[in-house]
Chains A and B, each alone.
Chain A
Amino acid sequence: MAFWDYANPTRFLKLVQVLLPWLVGLCVATFAIGLYMAFFTAPEDYQQGDTIRIMYIHVPSAWLCMMCYTVMSISSIGTLVWKHPLADVSAKSAAPIGAAFTFMALVTGSLWGKPMWGTYWEWDARMTSVLVLLIMYLGLMALWRTMDDPIKAGKAAAVLTLVGALNLPIIKFSVDWWNTLHQPASVVRLDGPTIHSSQLWPLLVMALAFTLLFFVLHLMAMRNEVLRRRVRALRMRAASVSRPATASASAQPAE
């Protein structure tokens, strides 16, 4: 069973070594095509002008900040249910990437909002729930950093990730409610007119490129985390080996 074969970190590292160059190449190629289409072949919007091109960065990042949390939730189930040794490595290394994509979605969104809505920040339902998501990512990262033992930290973070996954739809629903209660739809909405195919294709290519970028970064971060844990284990072993030696060495002169 492939799933269990890759529980062995060495085998996983070997797979990463084979897979990574191909993925990087594919990712770069897709980005080249996607960026070319976004900047040169995609038409200007008749209303929004050139600022529509922000969409090709903004929408894929927003989509990835959700996908990244999904990956983390699945990994957390892997940690808690099967105690898969790579699952908490996967969840831990996905969190900063997710936070980065969430941050990027917020920044590009507010840069897009300034010319379109006339303000950098609008307490729009979607922006607000993405902001809450960012706080959750950062809280999870803080939880990982404060705990010394990676196994315990992984389990604690897995519990929190799953509670967050349960709560995210509730948060989304309540923020939508709150938004409709406080401000009627005064904001220009993107989802009003259906998107034209000349804009849809670059968007899809960019979404694919971002997804590939996520997998490249995720695999790299997982590899680094496995190596980091090995270094930690080697250091601890070295410390435990050297301690009796120094103890006996310091004991000898005393005799």
Chain B
Amino acid sequence: MTGWAMALFRRDLRLSVRIGGSAIVGVLFFLAVVTVFPFGVGPDLNLLARIGPAILWIGALLATLLGLDRLFQADREDGTLDLMLMAGRPLELVVLIKCLAHWLSTGLPLVVAAPLFSVFLNLDPVAMAAVTATLLVGTPALTLIGAIGASLTVSLRRGGLLLAVLVVPLTVPILIFGVSSADAAIHDPVPFMTPFLILCALTLIAAVVGPIASAAALRFAAD
């Protein structure tokens, strides 16, 4: 990785870890969602084991959505984003690096917390491993697609809610394949690898489409 990219990556990571503690808050929110679900559906352990992967995935999706507005907002407020736009570096790469740093500080903690939370949901070890693996592969796609929404709403004063509305329809495929590959590992209607590989493909598509669309939106928002 070239020097400027590494510098940007370390700056973003340092900012998101040290300021605001967004990683911890995201995991706390994830815990809150997982805790609220049994109150809604009842404390039936068999039912929870059956819908456990779905609960974890929806919790991770919501936690990711809540953290997304910080992706570009803080940089825009203090003018850093304008400097990045004028720096003459490929903006797509800048977005990709920022997404990577953002995922490491907000997405990865969710993945790490998932095995612990799946104990509450009565998941057996195989299901636990499957959900964690799908979250590890799938949450980067959530961040990358969310980056499009974040850059579209960056100039709005209260874009958070709109961001969620814009991003959720686009994340439907990720949610479907994330949950269905976790389900496939538990009681196999299909082999685990089929949906899992499609999930990997979706993440790769998001890694291309997300930065390009997001960079285009940032350029249009600036001029």
- In the assembled complex, which residues on chain B have CB atoms less than 8 Å from the CB atom of A139? 162, 165-166, 169
- In the assembled complex, which residues on chain B have CB atoms less than 8 Å from the CB atom of A147? 155-156
A152 to chain B, nearest CB (A): 7
Given A163-B148, A175-B176, CB of A156 within 8 Å of CB of B170 = no
Given A174-B176, A181-B190, CB of A159 within 8 Å of CB of B213 = yes
Given A159-B152, A181-B189, A181-B190, CB of A136 within 8 Å of CB of B213 = no
Q: Which of A136, A152, A160, A175 contacts B148 (CB 8 A)?
A: A160
A174-B141 Cα distance, complex, nearest whole Å = 15
A171, CB-defined interface residue at 8 Å: yes
B134 to chain A, nearest CB (A): 14
A166-B159 Cα distance, complex, nearest whole Å = 23
B173, CB-defined interface residue at 8 Å: yes
A57 to chain B, nearest CB (A): 25
- In the assembled complex, which residues on chain A have CB atoms less than 8 Å from the CB atom of B221? 152, 156
Q: Which of A138, A166, A174 contacts B177 (CB 8 A)?
A: A174
Could you tell me if A177 and B176 are in contact, using CB atoms closer than 8 angstroms? yes
B215: nearest chain-A partner, CB-CB: A159
Instruction: Tell me the residues in window 118-146 of chain A with beta carbons closer than 8 Å to chain B beta carbons.
Output: 132, 135-136, 138-139, 142-143, 146
B216, CB-defined interface residue at 8 Å: yes
- In the assembled complex, which residues on chain B have CB atoms less than 8 Å from the CB atom of A177? 176-177, 180, 195
Could you tell me if B155 and A152 are in contact, using CB atoms closer than 8 angstroms? yes
Could you tell me if A174 and B155 are in contact, using CB atoms closer than 8 angstroms? no
A142-B166 Cα distance, complex, nearest whole Å = 9
A167, CB-defined interface residue at 8 Å: yes
Q: Which of B168, B176, B205, B220 contacts A178 (CB 8 A)?
A: B176
- B179-214 vs A, Cβ < 8 Å mask (1 yes, 0 no): 010010000011000010010001001000100010
Q: Number of contacting residues on B, CB 8 A? A: 30
B217, CB-defined interface residue at 8 Å: yes
A140: nearest chain-B partner, CB-CB: B166
Per DSSP, chain B at the interface is helix
B172, CB-defined interface residue at 8 Å: yes
Could you tell me if B202 and A159 are in contact, using CB atoms closer than 8 angstroms? no
A112-B190 Cα distance, complex, nearest whole Å = 33
Q: Determine which residue in A155, A156, A175, A178 has the highest number of CB atoms from chain B within 10 A of its CB, and name it.
A: A156
**Interface size of A as a range:** 20 to 34
B38 to chain A, nearest CB (A): 22
A170-B172 Cα distance, complex, nearest whole Å = 9
B195: nearest chain-A partner, CB-CB: A177
Q: Determine which residue in B159, B172, B217 has the highest number of CB atoms from chain A within 10 A of its CB, and name it.
A: B172
A214 to chain B, nearest CB (A): 23
A77, CB-defined interface residue at 8 Å: no
- In the assembled complex, which residues on chain A have CB atoms less than 8 Å from the CB atom of B213? 159, 162-163
- In the assembled complex, which residues on chain B have CB atoms less than 8 Å from the CB atom of A164? 169-170
Could you tell me if A155 and B176 are in contact, using CB atoms closer than 8 angstroms? no
A175-B168 Cα distance, complex, nearest whole Å = 14
Could you tell me if A159 and B216 are in contact, using CB atoms closer than 8 angstroms? yes
B→A interface (CB under 8 Å): 148, 152-153, 155-156, 159, 162, 165-166, 168-170, 172-173, 176-177, 180, 183, 189-190, 195, 198, 202, 205, 209, 213, 216-217, 220-221
For the complex with contacts A143-B166, A147-B156, A156-B221, 16 further pairs of A-B residues with Cβ separation under 8 Å are A135-B168, A138-B165, A139-B169, A143-B162, A146-B153, A146-B162, A152-B220, A159-B216, A160-B217, A162-B213, A163-B170, A166-B209, A173-B173, A174-B173, A174-B177, A181-B190
Per CB-CB distance, the 5 closest pairs between chain A and chain B, nearest first, are: A174-B173, A155-B220, A178-B176, A174-B176, A139-B166
28 CB-based A-B contacts, threshold 8 Å: A136-B169, A139-B162, A139-B166, A139-B169, A142-B165, A146-B159, A146-B162, A147-B155, A147-B156, A155-B217, A155-B220, A159-B213, A159-B216, A160-B148, A160-B152, A162-B213, A163-B170, A163-B209, A166-B209, A170-B173, A171-B170, A171-B172, A175-B172, A177-B176, A177-B180, A178-B180, A181-B180, A181-B190
